[in-house]
Amino acid sequence: MKNFPTSVVVPVYNEEDAVRISLNRIMDLKLHERFEFLYIDDGSDDSSYDIIRNYPVKVIRHTVNKGYGAALKTGIRKAGGEKIILMDGDGQHDPKYIGEIESQLDDYDMVIGERTAGSFQVKKRKAGKKIIRKVGEYLVEQKLPDYNSGYRGFYTDQIRSMLHIMPNGFSFSTTSTLAYLKEGYNISTLPIEVSPRMGRKSNVRPVKDGSKTIMLLFRIIMLFNPLKVFLPASIGIFLIGFGFGLYGYLVFERFSNGAIILTVLGMFLFFIGLLADQISIMNRKRN
C-alpha cells in the first residue's frame, strides 16, 4: 500500500447528493494519486456510505451519528500522513486548494482556508460567530483568522496531542484555532471561495444552536484563559463591596452585611480564577 505524506479527512453525514460531486472533482484533479483520502461516514442513514465505497478512497463508518468533531477525531487517529488537511463533505469546499494548503504547511504549523467576502455563509450563524470572535480575540489577545472555517491543515502529531481537548460537536474548528494560538503556533491563511452547500439543508436551528453557542463561549473561556474573566469580575465586585462598606462606615459608622458579602465574594472569585487558570493549563498539556 502506498504511503502518502499528507492525509485528507472528510466527515460525511447524509450527503448523498454532494459527496458524489465532490469525489468526482477529486478524481478529475487526480488528487487521489497524491493524497490519502479518508472519508468518515458519521452514521448516515442515506446512501452516502455506498457511494463513497465505489471510489478509490478509504472510508470509515460510525454505527451511530457521533458529531462533526468526533468524525474528525476518527479520521485524524487513522490518518497515515505526516500532515492532515480537513475538508467538509457537503460540496462547499473545492478540493483544488488542497495542494496549496499542503505547500504552506512547510512553513507554518496551521493553515486555514479563509473565506473571501463573496463566499457563501449561513446568515443565521453570523451573530453567534461575531460574539465568539470577540470573546476569542479577548482571550488570546490578538486578531483571529477565519477561526471556524472547516477547511484547514496541520501536522498530524501536533493535532493528535490536542485531541483530548477537542469537542465532539460543531466547535472543533473554533477550539483548534484558539488552541494553536494559545500555544504560540504559527498560523497562516489561504483565501478560498466557498460555495453553497449541496443537497439537504443545513442542520442549523436558531434556538438549539444558540444555546450551543452560549455553552461554547463558557467552554472556551474556561479552557483557554479563565483569568481574563474572573480577574475583572473579582476586582469589580470587591471594589463595589468595599466602596459600599466604606460609605456605610463613614455615614452610619458600620459595615453592612451586603458590603461584607460582596467584598468576600470578590476575594473568592479571584482565588477561584487562579485555580481555574491552573486547571486549564493542565488540561491543555500534551499527552
State pLDDT tens for residues 193-239: 887 766 555 555 544 555 666 777 777 888 888 888 899 999 999 99
State pLDDT tens for residues 34-65: 999 999 999 999 999 999 999 999 999 999 99
pLDDT of residue 202: 56
**Cβ(8)–Cβ(38) under 8 Å?**
yes
State pLDDT tens for residues 125-145: 666 667 777 777 787 777 777
Return the bridge partners of 40, or none. 11, 60
Query: For the chain, what is the mean pLDDT?
Result: 87
CA–CA separation, 243 vs 247, rounded Å?
Answer: 6
Least trusted range by pLDDT, from 62-76, 78-92, 272-286: 272-286
pLDDT band at 105 (very low <50, low <70, confident <90, very high): very high
3-state secondary structure at position 88: coil
What mean pLDDT do residues 84-97 have?
Answer: 92
pLDDT of residue 287: 47
